[in-house]
Amino acid sequence: MTDQPADWTTTTTTAELAEWLTQGESIAVLTHARPDGDAIGSTTAIARALNHATKTKRARVYFTGGMPRWAEDILQDTPHTHVDANSDLNEFNPDRILIVDTGSWSQLDALADAIRSKPDRCAIVDHHLSGNAEIAQRRILATTAAAACEPIAELCQHILALAKPSELPVSIARPLYLGIATDTGWFKYSNVKPSTLRLAACLIEAGIDHAALHVLIELNEAPARLRVVAKALSSLELLDRDRVAIMTLTTDDIHASHAGPSDTGGLSNYALSIGSVRVAATITQVETASHEPAAKISLRSKPGPGMVDVNEVAKKLGGGGHANAAGAKLACSVEEAKAKLVKALTQ
């Protein structure tokens, strides 16, 4: 695993950050575009903890990009706003900004410009190996954590002055468990550690229904999702003696499937199920407001002997992530992105 950049370091503690956040009169909670389970779980949990502690609606979550179809079931009455390129952010002026599950300008999408001149108001809680440290003066970077929800659980405990995570309200424990479960592949990925399972056990003790969460997230697909999977699998290409799998998905494929951006996540795992494959990639054409070509690359790799660090591959393409899960967004066509990815994998 690659060492993190020298400036991508932790600068505060969860106790100090909890005190700083609760002193805020208005708190914006941000995460990466097209939020996944960990992003939605961690932002929902911390917003609820802050609002519970202050007995007000001081904390609001801001999302960008496509949302999973189950998102509203998790968010429920948590104050939240969806931002896009046409949103008016002139009134966006919170005195505390917490960025969760990312520390990258590129992943903040339409919210990046709104916070670019506010590093003194910003804090980051992340678990990725790299990021843009200049975004926030206050940073907690738990790069060995399986999910951002792990340090967020500790932060919630400090905010609510609780001795252990099993004492968290169910409304906070539920999204925390969601983030941990989804970022570990429901506890089957190599990022699972004893501490991960202990935290998950505490959250179940808090009263969450873990089986119902699994049904909501994993057994609740729309027909369009399966059509998108079929389109991606039909494009499957095996390279390097069948050790590299690449799939592509165009906007035409997505439209023909009557699908949306939220239906295109996690496709690389299908190709990774092939025994010989060590690295799987999905390249998805992205629609932009300017109609300029763009492509999103999602990378996954298998742990064990000969593991490929896809974070290093993604960094060559201007992205990043984890050793076994990373990604990048390129301003080019799908075919150009494929050529650049193949070059990055073979260099």
Q: Tell me the per-residue pLDDT of 324-345, one tens digit each, with 9 for 90 and over.
A: 999 999 999 999 999 999 999 9
Alpha carbon distance 327, 312 (integer Å)? 10
Instruction: Answer with the one of 151, 182, 217 that is the final residue of a domain.
Output: 217
Q: What are the structure tokens assigned to 234, written together?
A: 């039909």
pLDDT of 117 higher than 60? yes
Instruction: Answer with the one of 187, 217, 247 that is the final residue of a domain.
Output: 217
Q: Specify the CATH number for the domain of residue 100.
A: 3.90.1640.10
Residues 36-52: b if buried by 16+ CB within 10 A, e if exposed = bbbbbbbbbbbbbbbbb
Residues 238 and 302 in one domain: yes
Residues 205 and 234 in one domain: no
Q: Is residue 4 part of a domain?
A: no
Alpha carbon distance 224, 258 (integer Å)? 6
What pLDDT does residue 46 have?
98
How many structural domains are present in the chain? Answer: 2
The three-state secondary structure class of 67 is: coil
Q: Is residue 288 part of a domain?
A: yes
Q: What are the structure tokens assigned to 281, written together?
A: 């990639």
**Percentage of the chain modeled with pLDDT above 90:** 80
What pLDDT does residue 186 have?
96
Q: Is residue 316 part of a domain?
A: yes
Alpha carbon distance 260, 46 (integer Å)? 28
**Percentage of the chain modeled with pLDDT above 70:** 98
Q: Is residue 1 part of a domain?
A: no
Q: Is residue 7 part of a domain?
A: no
What pLDDT does residue 6 have?
55
Which residue bears the tokens 């970077």?
Answer: 141
- Helices 194-205 and 170-183, axial angle in degrees (round to 10): 150
For range 263-286, the mean pLDDT: 93
Instruction: Answer with the one of 166, 188, 217 that is the final residue of a domain.
Output: 217
Residues 22 and 141 in one domain: yes
- Provide the pLDDT confidence category of residue 2 given band limits of 50, 70 and 90: very low
Q: CB of 136 within 8 A of CB of 103?
A: yes
Q: Is residue 3 part of a domain?
A: no
Range of the domain at 303: 223-346
The three-state secondary structure class of 114 is: helix
pLDDT of 290 higher than 80? no
Residues 239 and 316 in one domain: yes
Residues 25 and 159 in one domain: yes
What pLDDT does residue 1 have?
35
pLDDT of 200 higher than 90? yes
Lowest mean pLDDT among 3-7, 37-41, 117-121: 3-7
pLDDT of 3 higher than 70? no
